[in-house]
Amino acid sequence: MSSSNYKTIVKDGLWDNNGVFSMLLGMCPAMAMTTSATNGFGMGLATAVVMAASSLLVAVFRKLITPEVRIPVYILIVAAMVTLVDLAMNAWMHELYKVLGLFIPLIVSNCLPLARLEAFAAKQPVLPSFLDGLFMGLGFTIALTAIGAVREITGNGTLFADASLLLGPAFKAIELRVLPADMGVLMMILPPGGFLVTGLLVVVKRMLDLRAGKEIQMGGAHSVA
């Protein structure tokens, strides 16, 4: 595979085919875990690790998996990877693990990893599949961090609050206060804010795509679950 194809994989994952803003997949953690930019970032990274690892495994075993039973096999591979991430985070990133809670095991039923396995890793060689999983996951991380940042700034007036607590002391420097403490609109951190910000950010992406002279995607991949 030539280097231009790798470039397409990177660009597709990060922006053109962004899991959240273009394909509208993996919406549950994208709204539930984005009450702050730090939470969104942590959730995104956990998903990216699972996606990269399971894409790699499916690509390695793609010739051995019979088409009739491929979906259960994919789900089991993803479930195994999620269990590993779950245990590792519980051991080494316990604070973040406590915040993300339920949504770490729920990566199993996130539509995004499964959609990429079915659409890409099942048919492609190992390296491109791994990169596709990784960059789709990183695109997911960017989307979650963006939603989290907007909700945190408008709701709380802070950005990356508690990053040093959740991600490690090295992240102390990125904790910011953007607005004074009493300027926050509580609604943005509550569930309605999640729907609102996600909807508006999809519009922003469409605007940017339109300005760059690209076709805007009207639908989104509604096929999976």
Residues that bind another protein (CB under 8 A): 24-25, 27-29, 31-32, 71-72, 75-76, 79-80, 82-83, 86-87, 102, 105-106, 108-111, 114, 187, 190-196, 198-200, 202-203, 206-207, 210, 216, 218-220, 222-225
Which residues does 29 contact at the CB level (< 8 Å), separation at least 6? 43, 47, 103, 106, 107, 110, 144
Q: How far is the CB of 118 from another protein (least distance, A)?
A: 11
Which residue lies nearer to another protein by CB, 1 or 87? 87
Minimal CA–CA distance to 155: which of 190, 120, 117, 185?
185
Q: How far is the CB of 59 from another protein (least distance, A)?
A: 20
Which residue lies nearer to another protein by CB, 68 or 180? 68
The secondary structure of residue 120, as a DSSP letter, is I
Question: Tokens 């990566």 map to which residue?
Answer: 107
Integer Cα distance of 102 and 206 in angstroms:
32
| Alpha-carbon torsion (141, 147, 149, 155), positive or negative | negative
Which residue lies nearer to another protein by CB, 131 or 189? 189
Q: How far is the CB of 16 from another protein (least distance, A)?
A: 17
Q: How far is the CB of 106 from another protein (least distance, A)?
A: 5
